[in-house]
Each structure stands twice: as C-alpha cells, then as structure tokens.
Amino acid sequence: MPPTRNLVLVIFLALSLFSASCDGGSLLQTETSCHRRRHHHRHRCHHRKHHKGGHRHHNHLKGRKQPHQKVLSVDDFGAKGDGTTDDSEAFLRAWNKFCNSRGSMLVIPNRRTYMLSPTHFSGPCYPNLKLRLYGTIKAYGNKNDYKNDRHRWLKFSDLKNFMVDGGGVIDGNGQQWWKESCKVQKSEAVTFQNGTNISVKDLLFKNSPKMHLVFLESESIRASNIVIQAPGDSPNTDGIHISHTTDVEITNSVIATGDDCISIVNESKNVRVSRIVCGPGHGISIGSLGKNYDLEEHVTNIIVDTVVFKGTTNGVRIKTWQGGNGYARNILFDNIVMHNVTNPIIIDQFYCDNPKDNYGNVLPCPEKVEAVGVSNVVYRNIRGTSARELAIRFECSKTVPCKGILLENVNLIGEDKGVVKAECSNVKYANIGHVFPSCGG
C-alpha cells in the first residue's frame, strides 16, 4: 500500500489527540468566517476573505483522468528501477516526451526504486500535465555527482497547471551530508521554481541533505496529504520552504525533521498553513528576514491554523536579523496546540550568527539600530505545555518596536504542570479573553 494512502486519517487522529481548543471547541472545527469578532479585528477579517478567494485557482487541478489522456511510463524510456542503476538519463528522455505531449501523464511504477543524480526537469511544457509517482525515487549517494550543482537534486522549473501525486516516496539519501559542517553547501531535495498552479500531494519525502520541498519564485501552490521525515538531529532539513512565492496552501500533512517544519521567507505572501502535525523539528517560522542588509525583505498575509506541535524546539516563531530592512505583518496564528515545546511563542528581532571568543564561547550579537518591522500579529486559541519556564518571548527592537500584537485566549502551562512566564520588550500589545502567561505579569 502506498505510504501516504491513509494520510488524512492519520492526521485527523493525531490532531484529535490534542483536540479541544481554548474555548472548548474541537480543533478540527476550524472557524471559516470572522463575523463573530469583526468588531475586534477588522484587519483579520479582511485578511481571511482575501485568502479564501486567493485559492480558487486550485480547482482546475482536481478531477478525473481526462478522456484520451496519453499515459507514459519511465520504464518505456529505459529506466531500470533496480535500486542500483542511474536512471537519470532515462527520466530525462521520458520527461522530454511527456513535456511535449498535450494532457499526458507520466507514471513512475510501484515496487521499484529509481536512482537519480541531480536532474533538472525544465519547461515550459504543455499545461495540465500529471506526474504520478507510485514507486520510490532515491538520490545517488556519491558526492561527486553533485559537483555541478550542489544546490538542488530534483528541480522542476517553468511549469503551469502541473500536478505530482501517487503515494510514492522521494528519498534524498542525505545521511552522509548531515555529517558535514553547516557551512558546506548541500542540495535541496525537490525544488519548484517559476511555477504557476502547482499541486503536490499524497507523497512521502524523507532524509533530504537539506530542505525537502522548496517553492521558489512561484504562484498558486497547493501541497496536501504529505509526510516529511528526517531525524530530529539532521541539520537544516526544513520540511517545506517558501520563498518569493504567493498564494500558497499547505494542508493535511505530517512533518518531522531536524529544522523548521515550514519556513516562510522573503517576498512570500498570501500563505495559508492548516491541519499540520509538526515534530520533531524547529516549529513553523516566519523568516529569517533581513540577513541581506542591502535589500528590503517582506512577508505578509500569513495564516497558520489548526497545528499540533509535538516536542519541537519552537512553536510559532518570527525571526529577523539585526540591521535588516523590510517587514513581517498581517500574520494570524490560530487554533494551535503545544505539547512539550521549548519556545511555544517567540518573536526575535535579534536573530544572528552569534560570534565566539577565542575560547569558543558564544557571545551576544552587537545591537544594531536598523531592524525588520513586525506588526499586526494575532495569536488566538493557543494552548498546551512548554518545556521550560519561559513560554512567551517577544524580544523586539528599541528603534523598530513590534506593534499591533494581539493575544486572545492563550493558555500555556509547564510540561510538569508548573507556572510559566512571558518576557516582552519593546512591544505594543493587547490581550483579549484569558491570556496566560501575559506580558503584563
């Protein structure tokens, strides 16, 4: 049975383990309108309406096999799938035929393992193509195969109305790369660049050398029913990474890695993340932003709704570099459950590569005047346990303070049932309903 066939059921069961939101309702009963609290949060209502309309573009990707659809198999182009042979050239031959065949489907058969070196599947192609992965695609472990492109293993570029599904496995085979220094360039497993109306669903990604699934310079993206797996100590193995991409929906997925489950960075907007189980890993991050001091970086209109964090380093995090420029704003974290999370809620405007002294001791970063602005952030219906006493930390800049921060129905306790606290500096905030711990004491 394909590994992801029963994924939706698994996700719902996992979410149900931590159901019952702060107001007594089920986490699975996600609010779909905002009329109940319109008088409190007008900007949030506008944000949700904008987002709801922004995803209608995915409808065309749904549907049954079209009449007279041409079905191709990679085996027809010489792929062996024996777990030993490099099938990259056979895949490229199949891709070239597939790309130029109107309304076609390319099948990667079940019960076979196809070894691939770094491969670029480029467009433009005919629109409305489907890649159906039933078997396993696995990266060659030979580092010499990556000497021409250390950044990406499988790259899909310049595609429109493109779907990948099938219940198969994409194995980045990254174990040997994890031993290298974080400064050594490692490849992302799967990257979609310059794509429009892309759907990725019903797949298992695992053990990428670096990030597992990247959306770059794209628009109208849907990722659903995905499992992403890597050991908790595997460095830089983000689950899903979004950069310079607009109108994104990520839903019904389980992500367990050694870094961010989902990271949303520069020039990304209109992103909705919902029904996710995250952990282990570093949580869901907005940023980091502002590392390149010469450029303004922006993230806006983000919804993170109905997420369970299990044993993660962070829960919901916004991180920006000192000295950076730009903003992160109009962000909603709603219906969140924390289970033994080290930093459940955090805004850090002082993110940096900490310098070290001559003895290797980590030193604090020198404070800079410039900062990336953080504003209009709502934390609503968040409950659960913190692994340490400090459960909420808003560490904001003196010159560019965080503003428009709202906490509504937040209840965090210690994993050992102990009392937790909040630390807040240079932040303009408001509380609605029960909020604990609170910046006010």
- Which residues are catalytic, by number? 259, 282
3-state DSSP assignment of residue 177: helix
Joined together, the tokens standing for residue 431 give 């509380």
Amino acid of residue 300: T
Instruction: Report CA Rg, the chain.
Output: 22
**Contact criterion met (CB below 8 Å) for 305 and 335:** yes
β-partners of residue 348 are: 319, 395
Handedness of CA 31, 32, 37, 42 (dihedral sign): positive
**Contact criterion met (CB below 8 Å) for 344 and 391:** yes
Joined together, the tokens standing for residue 32 give 């779909």
Task: Write down how long the chain is.
Answer: 441
**Contact criterion met (CB below 8 Å) for 18 and 339:** yes
Joined together, the tokens standing for residue 335 give 């219906």
DSSP 29: S
Question: What span, in angstroms and rounded, lies between the C-alpha atoms of 250 and 228?
Answer: 13
Joined together, the tokens standing for residue 345 give 């809620």
3-state DSSP assignment of residue 429: strand
Question: What span, in angstroms and rounded, lies between the C-alpha atoms of 270 and 5?
Answer: 29
